[in-house]
Chain A
Amino acid sequence: MRFKLISCEVLYREMCESIARSPHQVDVEFLSKGLHDLGGKAMGKALQEKVDAVSPDTHDAVLMGYALCGNGLHGIEARALPIVIPRAHDCIALLMGSRERYAEFFEANPGTYFRSTGWLERGKSLHQLPVGGTAGGASLDDLIERYGEENGRYLFEEFTRYQQHYRHLTYIESGLEPDGRFEEEARREASKRGWEYGKIPGNSRLFHQLVNGDWPEKDFLVVPPGARIAASYDDNIIRVEPPVEGRGA
């Protein structure tokens, strides 16, 4: 089989390792983590274009190195090829290897910021959370320059206030790290922000299964040509939905 993997660059190292071990030929295209900051609709549109560019003449399926990602994957339509996507809310669940494990961790550890190799080395200039139409992650100086001293400070405070609610920074260790540099960086960040540092082991199970063609229904959604991905708002996270007439991607 020959797959086309369209993946967020946040999963770069995990995906590369998985692809290297896959029995199949996997062509990969990594997309900017910045898509995340555009909001669900713009992200979906960009991903749809990438999905549409994969030809059934060359590939057997399109694999998504994404989760529901703030509904960024909601509405993406499989055209000529099936799309395969792991059932998860976001990349943190993917990195943990299980959405159940993520749900338990989320419940037991409120106010946790996560880091992984991808989150530490990719798209550093970007903001982790969407802030509407601004250049995500604008610094205090950027905001002052654009909106003036008083308004700039006010905006910076508004955009960063949520960080006061965070208390922990947890590094998800994939086991693929060359040495301790990523963990050290995560530890430094936690200390700088005044958050408690923690580390948990990652699990590459879902990445391996995705590129190996091992897609149990419990953990993966296979979207047949003509249908699309939809948020299911239940424990399955996503479901297949037939396309709506006249609806754009």
Chain B
Amino acid sequence: MADLAQLREAIINGNAKAAAAVVNTAIAEGTQPMALIHDYMIPAMDEVGRRFECEEYFVPELLLSARAMKAALEPLRPLLASSGIQPAGKVLIGTVKGDLHDIGKNLVSSLLEGGGFEVIDLGSDVSPGKFIEAAQSTGADIIALSALLTVTMPSMKYTIEALKEAGLRERVKVIIGGAPVTQQYADQIGADGYSENATLAVALARRLMSGTRQATA
């Protein structure tokens, strides 16, 4: 029997191998993928988020848990696809033009995947043109922009302006984040949402997908 409580623990403790092993055993035993995800994996990530919020966990722990979540999701993907279960949404993500710092972006990307989103990671130093091209070819629901430097923050504004010019702005939600980024800046440049940290970014993306715009502070 798969020890499902261990699945939760493995994700919380960032043990990718153990998480994948439990999932594989559970699949072999015929456990429904959605039951695993909803009853064990998502609650585990919620607990990780809680620990991060109250500063019991920091970025390394988040990275390890997100990685364990991805490892647990991997064997479930084909099953989810074959049963016609759609991802929570499609997110394009990248650090903006001029910004090469991708730790935060990678973390958000992992957590979004763990949260059931399909994530298309465009990498770092992504020009507005590349975001537009990818938005057109993938039909993404959300574009997530990251910047670590105040020097590169204006690239967020230019990317949103370019989306407007390309006639795509109404079709996608834009969310922004990164150490120096603020809600005030998000409001100023007309982004649909800002998240102070990676775990809240998943909640933000879910809220936007459900059509509820984030209340501006």
Whether a CB of chain A sits under 8 angstroms from the CB of B41 is no
- In the complex, chain B residues whose CB is within 8 Å of the CB of A68: 150, 180
C-alpha spacing A143/B64, complex, angstroms: 12
Q: State whether A162 and B102 are in contact (beta carbons under 8 Å apart), knowing that A103-B151, A106-B151 are contacts in the complex.
A: yes
- In the complex, chain A residues whose CB is within 8 Å of the CB of B149: 70, 89-90
- In the complex, chain A residues whose CB is within 8 Å of the CB of B98: 106-107, 110
Whether a CB of chain B sits under 8 angstroms from the CB of A154 is yes
The B interface is mostly helix, strand or loop, or mixed, namely loop
Chain B window 161-203, contacts with chain A (Cβ cutoff 8 Å), 1 for yes, 0 for no = 0000000000000000001101001001100000000000000
A71 touches B151 (CB 8 A): no
* Residue among B100, B149, B153, B189 facing the most chain A CB atoms (10 A cut-off): B100
Query: Shortest distance in angstroms between B186's beta carbon and chain A's nearest beta carbon?
Result: 11
Query: Shortest distance in angstroms between B120's beta carbon and chain A's nearest beta carbon?
Result: 18
Looking at the complex, which one of B64, B125, B148, B153 makes contact with A155 (CB distance below 8 Å)? B64
C-alpha spacing A132/B59, complex, angstroms: 5
Query: Shortest distance in angstroms between B110's beta carbon and chain A's nearest beta carbon?
Result: 9
Interfacial residues of chain A within 209-249, with CB under 8 A of chain B in the complex: 231, 233, 237
Query: Shortest distance in angstroms between B181's beta carbon and chain A's nearest beta carbon?
Result: 8
**Total contacting residues, chain A, CB less than 8 A:** 36
Q: State whether A133 and B55 are in contact (beta carbons under 8 Å apart), knowing that A162-B102, A162-B124 are contacts in the complex.
A: yes
Query: Shortest distance in angstroms between A38's beta carbon and chain B's nearest beta carbon?
Result: 11
Whether a CB of chain A sits under 8 angstroms from the CB of B154 is yes
A165 touches B100 (CB 8 A): yes
Whether a CB of chain B sits under 8 angstroms from the CB of A197 is no
B64 touches A166 (CB 8 A): no
Looking at the complex, which one of A132, A143, A166, A231 makes contact with B180 (CB distance below 8 Å)? A231
- In the complex, chain A residues whose CB is within 8 Å of the CB of B64: 147, 151, 154-155
Whether a CB of chain A sits under 8 angstroms from the CB of B211 is no
- In the complex, chain B residues whose CB is within 8 Å of the CB of A159: 103
Q: Sample 12 A-B pairs with CB under 8 A, ordered by A number.
A: A71-B179, A89-B150, A90-B151, A103-B151, A133-B55, A134-B59, A154-B67, A155-B60, A162-B100, A162-B102, A231-B150, A231-B185
Looking at the complex, which one of A129, A133, A134, A237 makes contact with B148 (CB distance below 8 Å)? A129
- In the complex, chain B residues whose CB is within 8 Å of the CB of A118: none
C-alpha spacing A79/B147, complex, angstroms: 32
A158 touches B125 (CB 8 A): no
- In the complex, chain A residues whose CB is within 8 Å of the CB of B180: 40, 68, 70-71, 231
- In the complex, chain A residues whose CB is within 8 Å of the CB of B148: 70, 129-130
- In the complex, chain B residues whose CB is within 8 Å of the CB of A103: 151
B179 touches A133 (CB 8 A): no
Query: Shortest distance in angstroms between A144's beta carbon and chain B's nearest beta carbon?
Result: 12
Q: CB-nearest residue of chain A relative to B13?
A: A151
* Residue among B100, B103, B125, B150 facing the most chain A CB atoms (10 A cut-off): B150
B58 touches A133 (CB 8 A): yes
- In the complex, chain A residues whose CB is within 8 Å of the CB of B182: 71, 74, 231
C-alpha spacing A143/B58, complex, angstroms: 13
Q: State whether A158 and B106 are in contact (beta carbons under 8 Å apart), knowing that A71-B150, A132-B60 are contacts in the complex.
A: yes
Query: Shortest distance in angstroms between A40's beta carbon and chain B's nearest beta carbon?
Result: 6
Looking at the complex, which one of A71, A90, A107, A131 makes contact with B103 (CB distance below 8 Å)? A131
